[in-house]
Amino acid sequence: MQMKQLGRTDLTVSKLCLGSMTWGTQNTQTEGHAQIDRALERGINFVDTAEMYPVNPISAETTGLTEEIIGNWFAATGRRQDMILASKHSGAGFKNARDGAPISGQTISQAIEGSLKRLQTDYIDLYQFHWPNRGSYMFRQNWRYDPSSQHKAETLDNMAECLEALEREMQRGTIRTFGLSNESAWGTSQWLRLSDAGHGPRVASIQNEYSLMCRMYDTDLAELSVNEDVDLLAFSPLAAGLLTGKYQNGAVPEGSRMSIVSDLGGRRTDRAFAAVQAYLDIAQRNGLEPVQMVLAWAMQRPFMGSVIFGSTTMEQLDLALGSVEITLNDEVLVEIDTAHRENAMPY
């Protein structure tokens, strides 16, 4: 397993990170625990969760259950120190946490307390803000993104207040470092600037969607990443399952994510299936297993901290774990670039 120093922190994480957002809905606690055991046995040390998980579907009854499942694993195994754990403070508008209150100096300590209790631990390694209070262009909102109603001074005041609250939490030892999610280049640069001005901790990572099908990170955020040592933690690297090829030709396997969320969060478009086919053909021509090609490609990107994938079965997990054995050669990378040009932004 390749390891990577996260940002400028002293945390070293595996280049594959185990996603957890199905534990408590699609997966039972026993299945979640089996996934953690297998992933750790195979060299993964990094698990991503959030106070709002599980999802698909989201409900008030299950909110927080994924953290509880991870907490029960810590309690049962006593292996807290074997895992670098990332969790997230939900952003504004998420009704099941603090009635949808925006992230602020007040909510941070409350949210962390709740997570620590569910997780049965006294620290979170990477504490992330799930989405910015001012909104985000992720999750297909890019098509109609209009930041013109934002208030710069208010945004910066809130960021400074949040950094100060995070600094207090770091002093208390409840969190080790801090990351963003669903952020933009402008937003991240402001967090960095305020941290440089002494308001609080330096952002270590940005958790945004990134895959062969969703490459908005490739330009401005990529540049910010390499120059500022802020690593990408790529979520939905298999495009929520599309890139496995299992939804080609109209198939919707029973129990699959598409059987629960029919448009796959706006990813189910005609152009998406054509793009998937182009990548499946590249894998076939080169004797590669598609899931492994897709994950290996993501791990090879120059700004990659870790690739956060999801599995709902042990077979899926084993296949994903096999991607660490693979390095894509230049010929395959050129074919992928050509397919990308021909199938840019399929959703």
Ligand X SMILES: NC(=O)c1ccc[n+]([C@@H]2O[C@H](COP(=O)([O-])OP(=O)(O)OC[C@H]3O[C@@H](n4cnc5c(N)ncnc54)[C@H](OP(=O)(O)O)[C@@H]3O)[C@@H](O)[C@H]2O)c1
For residue 327, the tally of other CB atoms under 10 A from its CB is 10
Closest to ligand X by CB, 67 or 335: 67
Instruction: Kindly state the smallest distance separating residue 265's Cβ from ligand X, in Å.
Output: 8
Taking the complex as a whole, how short is the minimal distance between the CB of residue 212 and ligand X, in angstroms?
11
CB closer to ligand X, 53 vs 74: 53
Using CB under 6 A, pick the residue from 89, 309, 328, 339 that binds ligand X.
309
If one counts every other C-beta atom within 10 angstroms of the C-beta of residue 188, the result is: 21
Cα separation, 233 vs 131, in Å, equals 14
Q: With binding defined as CB under 6 A, does residue 240 bind ligand X? A: yes
- Between 14 and 236, name the residue whose CB sits nearer to ligand X: 236
Nearest to ligand X of 85, 339 (CB atom): 85
- Contact region with ligand X (CB under 6 A), list: 114-122, 216-224, 229-237, 338-346: 229-237
- Closer of 168 and 300 to ligand X (Cβ): 300
Closest CA to 124 of 135, 132, 111, 115: 115
Residue 20 found at the interface with ligand X (CB under 6 A):
yes
- Tell me: does residue 256 bind ligand X (CB under 6 A): yes
Q: Residue 214 CB, nearest distance to ligand X (Å)?
A: 10
Cα separation, 35 vs 338, whole angstroms: 35
Q: Determine if 244 is a binding residue for ligand X (CB under 6 A).
A: yes
**Is there binding between residue 21 and ligand X (CB under 6 A)?**
yes
Q: Is 19 in the site for ligand X (CB under 6 A)?
A: yes
For residue 310, state whether it binds ligand X (rule: CB under 6 A): yes
306 lines the binding site for ligand X (CB under 6 A): no
Interatomic CA distance for residues 304 and 206, integer angstroms:
10
User: Closest Cα to residue 169, out of 131, 139, 125, 138?
Assistant: 125
Task: Establish if 312 lies at the interface with ligand X (CB under 6 A).
Answer: yes
Residue 48 interacts with ligand X (CB under 6 A): yes or no: yes
* CA pair distance 272, 267, nearest whole angstrom: 7
51 binds ligand X (CB under 6 A): no
Q: Nearest distance from residue 133's CB to ligand X, in Å?
A: 15
Query: Is 206 a residue that touches ligand X (CB under 6 A)?
Result: no
What's the min distance (Å) between Cβ of 152 and ligand X?
24
Does 54 sit near ligand X (CB under 6 A)? no
Tell me, by CB under 6 A, how many residues bind ligand X. 29
- Tell me: does residue 238 bind ligand X (CB under 6 A): yes
Minimum Å distance from CB 290 to ligand X? 8
> Could you say whether residue 278 binds ligand X (CB under 6 A)?
no
Q: Is 53 a catalytic residue?
A: yes
Nearest Cα residue to 276 out of 211, 210, 323? 211
Listed ranges 108-116, 161-169, 239-247, 268-276: which one lies at the site for ligand X (CB under 6 A): 239-247
> With binding defined as CB under 6 A, does residue 115 bind ligand X?
no
The answer to whether residue 92 forms part of the interface with ligand X (CB under 6 A) is: no
Contact residues toward ligand X (CB under 6 A) are: 19-22, 26, 48, 130, 181-182, 207, 235-241, 244, 246, 256-257, 291, 308-312, 316, 319
Q: Which residues carry out catalysis?
A: 53
